[in-house]
C-alpha cells in the first residue's frame, strides 16, 4: 500500500527536535521529540507517510539540519522566518509542541513564510565576514580607550599630528605619564597590534575562500566596491536573482524608508530595520564613498544636499539607488549557487 503524503514541522533545538506530522486534511499524526540526528528524524517521520513539505524555523544549526535532510532523505525542506511565524500564531503561549504544529500546518496550506536556504560556501563566507567585523569592532573599541585615556590625562598631540600615524605613535612613546597610565597604554597598544595580526589573517582566509567566486569577481569590477564590500554583499545577499526587483533587494538591505502613514497623516519613519546591520552599514559607507569619488553619484549627492538633505540621508539615498542599479547589473551574471 502506498504511503500517504504528509507535511512536517520541525522545531529545532541543540539537543532535540520536535517533529509534528500532519496529513493533507490537517489531522495531526504525530508530534514527538526526536534526538537531534538526521537519521532518527527521518525514521520517526517516514513511518507515517512520505513528506511532501518540511519546514524548519530558521535559527543557529537549522540550515545544517536542512542540508542533511535534503542530502540523506531527499526531502523538500524550507526554512521559516521565525518573526513571521510568531505573528501567525493565535496564542501568546510558546511550547515546542505548538511551534512544530504551526510549522507543519503552514507548510500544509502553503502559507509558510520562507527564507532562503543559503548553500554552505555562502554560509562559510558569512562566518568569516562576521568574525572579521568582530575583530574590527574590538580594535575600534581599543583605539577609543586609548583616546579616552589621553583625554583623562589632558594630553593633546601637537598641531598637525594625526592619530594612529607614525608621528602620533612617536609622540605617545615620548610622553611622560604616570606608571599606571603607561601600563594601560602599552597593554592597549599590544592588544591593537594583536588584533591587526588577526585581521590580516582573516582577510587572507576571505581572499582564499572567495578566490574562485564569480560573483565576488563581478562585484569587484563595479565602481566603488572593494574587497570588504564584495565579501559582505556576497555573504549576506548570496544570489541577486532571488529578488524579483531592485526595490525588493533594497528593502532586504534595509535601505528603504518605512512608511508610517495613518488616516490623513502621510509620513516616513526612517529606514526599515529588517535586514542584517552589517550589510546596511557596509552599503551606507559605500554611499558616502560614491558621493565623494564617483561623478555620477556625486551629481545626485549634490542635488540632494542642495535640497537641504542631511549627509546621512544623502548616503542612504545613494546606497538605495546603487543597490537597485546593482540588482539590474547582476542579472547578467551566470546563475549563482
DSSP per-residue letters across 193-213: HHHHHHHHHHHHHHHHHTTT-
Burial class (CB in 10 A: 0-12, 13-18, 19+), 45: buried
| C-alpha neighbours within 13 Å on the C-beta side of residue 167 | 7
Q: For residue 89, what pLDDT is reported? A: 81
Residue 108 lies in a domain: yes
SS3 294: coil
Rounded to whole angstroms, how far apart are CA atoms 290 and 232?
17
Last residue of a domain, one of 60, 95, 115: 115
Residue 125 neighbours by CB distance under 10 Å: 22
Tens place of pLDDT for every residue, the chain, 337 residues?
578 899 999 999 988 999 999 999 999 999 999 999 999 999 999 999 999 999 999 988 899 999 999 999 999 999 999 888 888 887 788 899 999 999 999 999 999 999 999 999 999 999 999 999 999 999 999 999 999 999 999 999 999 899 999 999 999 999 999 999 999 999 999 999 999 999 999 999 999 999 999 999 999 998 889 999 999 999 999 999 999 999 999 999 999 887 777 777 766 777 878 778 999 999 999 999 999 999 999 999 999 999 999 998 999 999 999 999 999 999 864 444 5
Range of the domain at 289: 214-330
Residue 336 lies in a domain: no
> What sign does the dihedral 37-43-48-53 (CA atoms) show?
positive
Residues 6+ apart with CB under 8 A from 44: 19, 30, 32, 34
> What sign does the dihedral 301-306-310-316 (CA atoms) show?
negative
Residues 6+ apart with CB under 8 A from 195: 135, 138, 139, 142
Rounded to whole angstroms, how far apart are CA atoms 86 and 99?
9
Residue 125 lies in a domain: yes
- 50 neighbors 4 (Cβ within 8 angstroms): yes
> What sign does the dihedral 48-50-55-56 (CA atoms) show?
positive
SS3 25: coil
Quick one: residue 251, left, alpha or beta (phi over 0 = left, psi -120 to 50 = alpha)?
A: alpha
DSSP notation for 94-115: --HHHHHHHHHHHHHHT---EE
Rounded to whole angstroms, how far apart are CA atoms 236 and 252?
10
What global pTM score does this model have? 0.86
Q: Do 218 and 326 reside in the same domain of the chain?
A: yes
Q: What is the CATH number of the domain that holds 53?
A: 3.30.420.40
Q: For residue 332, what pLDDT is reported? A: 60
Q: For residue 267, what pLDDT is reported? A: 67
Residue 337 lies in a domain: no
Residue 144 lies in a domain: yes
Last residue of a domain, one of 175, 209, 243: 209
Is residue 5 within a helix (H) or strand (E), and if so which, with residue range?
strand 5-12
Which single residue is written with the C-alpha cell 512520505?
50
Q: For residue 167, what pLDDT is reported? A: 93
Q: Do 107 and 86 reside in the same domain of the chain?
A: yes
Q: Do 218 and 325 reside in the same domain of the chain?
A: yes
Residue 227 neighbours by CB distance under 10 Å: 14
Residue length of the chain? 337
DSSP notation for 145-167: HHHHHHHHTT--PPTT--TTSHH
Q: Which three cell numbers stand for residue 78?
A: 524550507
Last residue of a domain, one of 186, 209, 232: 209
Split into its structural domains, the chain has a count of 3
SS3 14: coil
Q: Do 312 and 228 reside in the same domain of the chain?
A: yes
Q: For residue 336, what pLDDT is reported? A: 45
Amino acid at each position: 500500500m502506498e504511503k500517504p503524503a504528509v507535511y512536517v514541522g520541525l522545531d529545532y533545538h541543540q539537543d532535540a527536535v520536535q517533529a509534528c506530522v500532519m496529513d493533507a486534511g490537517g489531522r495531526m499524526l504525530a508530534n514527538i521529540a526526536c534526538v537531534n540526528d538526521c537519521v532518527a528524524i527521518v525514521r520517526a517521520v517516514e513511518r507515517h507517510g512520505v513528506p511532501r513539505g518540511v519546514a524548519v524555523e530558521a535559527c543557529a544549526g537549522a540550515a545544517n539540519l536542512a542540508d542533511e535532510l535534503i542530502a540523506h532523505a531527499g526531502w523538500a525542506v524550507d526554512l521559516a522566518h521565525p518573526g513571521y511565524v510568531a505573528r501567525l500564531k493565535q496564542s501568546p503561549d510558546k511550547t515546542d509542541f505548538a511551534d512544530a504544529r504551526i510549522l507543519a500546518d503552514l507548510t500544509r496550506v502553503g502559507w509558510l513564510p520562507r527564507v532562503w536556504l543559503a548553500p554552505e560556501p555562502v554560509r562559510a563566507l558569512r562566518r568569516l565576514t562576521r568574525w572579521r567585523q568582530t575583530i574590527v569592532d574590538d580594535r575600534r573599541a581599543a583605539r577609543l580607550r586609548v583616546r579616552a585615556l589621553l583625554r583623562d590625562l589632558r594630553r593633546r598631540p601637537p598641531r598637525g599630528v594625526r592619530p594612529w600615524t607614525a608621528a602620533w605613535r612617536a609622540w605617545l612613546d615620548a610622553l611622560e605619564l604616570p606608571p599606571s597610565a603607561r601600563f594601560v597604554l602599552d597593554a592597549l597598544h599590544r592588544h591593537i597590534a594583536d588584533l591587526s595580526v588577526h585581521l590580516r589573517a582573516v582577510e587572507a582566509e576571505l581572499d582564499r575562500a572567495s578566490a574562485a567566486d564569480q560573483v565576488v569577481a563581478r562585484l569587484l569590477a563595479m565602481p566603488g566596491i572593494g574587497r570588504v564590500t564584495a565579501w559582505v554583499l556576497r555573504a549576506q545577499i548570496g544570489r541577486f536573482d532571488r529578488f524579483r526587483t531592485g526595490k525588493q533587494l533594497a528593502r532586504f538591505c534595509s535601505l528603504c524608508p518605512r512608511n508610517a502613514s495613518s488616516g490623513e497623516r502621510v509620513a516616513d519613519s526612517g529606514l526599515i530595520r529588517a535586514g542584517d546591520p552589517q550589510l546596511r552599514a557596509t552599503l551606507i559607507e559605500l554611499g558616502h564613498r560614491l558621493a565623494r569619488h564617483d561623478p555620477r553619484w556625486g551629481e545626485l549627492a549634490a542635488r540632494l544636499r542642495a535640497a537641504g538633505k542631511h549627509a546621512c540621508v544623502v548616503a542612504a539615498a545613494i546606497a538605495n539607488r546603487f543597490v537597485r542599479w546593482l540588482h539590474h547589473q547582476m542579472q547578467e551574471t551566470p546563475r549563482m549557487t
